[in-house]
Amino acid sequence: MSSEASARAQALSAASAREYRHARLIAIRDVLLSILAPLVLLALWELAARAGWIDQRLFTPPTKIVVQGAKMIGDGSLWKDLVPTVLRLLAGFVIGSIAGIVVGLLMGVSRVIRAAFGPMFTALYALPKIAILPLLLLIFGLTETPKVLSVAISVFFVLQINTLAGVVQIDGRILEAARAYRANGWKLFRFILLPAAIPSIFTGLQVAAGSGVIVITAVEFVASNTGLGYLIWNSWQLFQPAQMYVGLIVVSIIGALLTAVIVVLERALVPWRRANALRRKKNK
């Protein structure tokens, strides 16, 4: 009997090892594909530009974009536009995220607040956030405040909606059980509401990261003489496509880095979500 149990344990161990190797190979394949696909596209772009299949005046070859980027880093001109954009984006992102999470939680726990402000927020969410910029400029003038607030407003609505959804979807039986154990006020918030809403909050943060980058770039197009948005727009006006592409690439890198930071934080603060996703993938 013990030999059969030992053989069964060895078989399970071998199966687990094979499954682990298979999962590892798939992960390595995915990483390689994520690296090779952009490189292949860039190589095709370079080849098409060099061969004259596309107009180099409009589609600057990647090698020339890299040279232009290195030049802008070396003379410091890129940093003059990068730093203001990052500061505006981070300030607006933090302000909008905190406000959106707080309001979303309040609306989630209070039916009265939800009824009072829900329809209004729904209508305002549909309003293009860049359309609010002229009003902000009238109120605050040509200062940094309208730029930061434009990002904060766009981030606020995304976080408010996602946080509210995370609270509303909590099973009523869980809330009843919590109240039965006298989990009211801070305890209810700390141990029930916030943990249940955190996955939705992080989903909102990822969406808001892209939204914030779009808004700050658009705002800098029309209401700034510094920043990456200004760099892109000014380069287009002066017909300097290589410089324009540098600005576009740096903006995309900022968005990717901000999203990556949020993903890392999510994995650290919500480890069970990743475990559940892996379990569902395994069952498929």
| 46 vs 191: which has the higher pLDDT | 46
For the chain, what is the domain count?
2
Q: 101 pLDDT exceeds 60?
A: yes
Same domain for 214 and 121: yes
- For the entire predicted model, the pTM comes to 0.82
pLDDT at 86 over 90: yes
- Phi, psi values for residue 242, rounded to 5°: -60, -45
Q: What is the pLDDT of residue 17?
A: 65
Q: CA of 101: how far to CAs of 56, 155, 156, 163, 212, in Å?
A: 47, 10, 8, 6, 16
The set of residues, in sequence order, having a beta carbon less than 8 Å from that of 95 and lying 6+ positions away, is 148, 152, 155
Q: Which of 14, 41, 59 lies at the terminal end of a domain, its last residue?
A: 59
Task: Looking at the structure, tell me whether residues 107 and 209 fall in a common domain.
Answer: yes
CB hemisphere CA count around 263 (13 angstroms): 8
* pLDDT 10s digits, 54-76: 888 888 899 999 999 999 999 98
The yes-or-no verdict on residue 14 having pLDDT over 80 is no
State residue 1's pLDDT score.
46
Domain that holds residue 73: 62-283
CATH code assigned at 198: 1.10.3720.10
Higher pLDDT, residue 168 or 86:
86
Better pLDDT: 280 or 182: 182
